[in-house]
Amino acid sequence: MLFSPLVESLLSPNCTDISLYGAKAANLAKAAQFGFVVPEGFAVSRLCTEDEFAQIAQGIIGELSPPVAVRSSATNEDSATQAFAGQFETCLGVSLTADLMNAFTVVKRSGSTNIFKKNHGDAIPTDQIAVLIQRMVDATRAGVAFSRDPSTGEPKVIIESNYGLGKSVVDGAVTPDSIDYLPDGTYRTYIGRKSIQIILADNGVHVQDTPTADSQRCSLAGEEISEIANLVRGVERDLGFPADIEWAFDSTGTLFLLQARPITTL
């Protein structure tokens, strides 16, 4: 559905234009076109103003069947040399049109906050920040994975996982399970404490304690570990760079690719 010339579906070839939609959206658009399972969503051009977005927000929220996630896709974010991981605002579990409009503003302005300027020196103006809006995956397990060891470049997959949404792993709120998956298909598992998990709630997210029995065992089964390893290796193969991804399993066991970017440490 076309809401505006300033909005592109992740399934559109036009969405791969980094100069308008940023690398985060462009990488997911490319991955979707290669056949990876990416949550349905739209990229809003960096040139879209808050007033212009107010005219199309209701159409987007209706098309995606909320809740949705609202994230930044700045033109210099998720590149081969700069990730800016966790530096821009992200709004999760957004269900109402008014909240989507507010989330758009928060994300667009997050490159100008005092915290961002303290970490990076210069602000990033709003017209350099595109916004990515996707249907949220109600994840049972989620986390990150690297197609190579980010410290050494060795061709082994590293997976980090926790129950619930991947936010707890990305934000460092828990010590996640960590798995080293070797080229021959064998793997070593290190059980993390996983004391909490973050789950979807009404128009947002909720933090809850993880039962002791769950925290003391690996959050992933063997076949799921192999599936994630194959996913991140496939992203490296098809997108053409050593990959740092975010992933999630939903309650049906479907594995989703939530983000794909180069490993900047290499």
The residue ranges of DSSP E strands in the chain, in sequence order, are 7-9, 41-44, 68-74, 91-94, 129-135, 141-146, 157-163, 177-181, 187-190, 196-201, 204-209, 243-249, 255-262
Q: Domain check: are 174 and 256 in the same one?
A: yes
Q: Domain check: are 54 and 162 in the same one?
A: no
Residue 204 lies inside a defined structural domain of this protein: yes
Distance (Å, whole) CA 255 – CA 193: 23
Query: Which of 114-118, 125-129, 172-176 has the lowest average pLDDT?
Result: 114-118
Q: Which amino acid is at 8?
A: E
Residue 2 lies inside a defined structural domain of this protein: no
Q: Domain check: are 187 and 257 in the same one?
A: yes
Residue 70 lies inside a defined structural domain of this protein: yes
Domain termination residue (choose one: 96, 114, 135): 135
Asked if omega into 67 is within 30° of 0 (cis), the reply is yes
Domain termination residue (choose one: 119, 135, 151): 135
Q: Domain check: are 173 and 248 in the same one?
A: yes
Q: Domain check: are 127 and 157 in the same one?
A: no
Residue 200 lies inside a defined structural domain of this protein: yes
Q: Domain check: are 121 and 210 in the same one?
A: no
Which pLDDT score is estimated for 266? Answer: 81
pLDDT at 80 over 60: no
| Residue given tokens 């991804």 in the structure block | 245
Residue 177, beta-bridge partner list = 161
- Average of per-residue pLDDT across 246-254: 98
Domain termination residue (choose one: 111, 135, 159): 135
Q: Domain check: are 131 and 172 in the same one?
A: no
Reduce the DSSP state of residue 182 to 3 states and report it: coil
Q: Domain check: are 114 and 204 in the same one?
A: no
Evaluate whether 125 touches 149 at the Cβ level (below 8 Å): no
Dig out the tokens for 140 from the structure: 């049972």
**pLDDT tens digits for range 6-39:** 999 999 999 999 999 999 999 999 999 999 999 9
Count of structural domains within the chain = 2
- Average of per-residue pLDDT across 223-237: 98
Q: Domain check: are 60 and 129 in the same one?
A: yes
Reduce the DSSP state of residue 228 to 3 states and report it: helix
Q: Domain check: are 22 and 131 in the same one?
A: yes
141 vs 169, 180, 197, 223, 251, CA distance in Å?
10, 17, 9, 14, 9
Distance (Å, whole) CA 70 – CA 48: 15
Query: Which of 84-93, 169-178, 199-208 has the lowest average pLDDT?
Result: 84-93
Which pLDDT score is estimated for 22? Answer: 94
Evaluate whether 169 touches 228 at the Cβ level (below 8 Å): no
Interhelix angle 222-239/18-33, nearest 10 degrees: 130
Q: How many residues does the chain have?
A: 266
Name the residue among 24, 17, 97, 18 with its Cα closest to residue 257. Answer: 24
Q: Domain check: are 164 and 124 in the same one?
A: no
Which pLDDT score is estimated for 118? Answer: 46
Q: Which helix (H) or strand (E) holds 238?
A: helix 222-239
Record the pTM.
0.92
Q: Which amino acid is at 208?
A: Q
Q: Which amino acid is at 231?
A: L
Evaluate whether 42 touches 59 at the Cβ level (below 8 Å): no
Please compute Rg for the chain using Cα positions.
18
Q: Domain check: are 97 and 186 in the same one?
A: no
pLDDT confidence tier of residue 82, bands split at 50, 70 and 90: low
For 21, the domain range is: 7-135
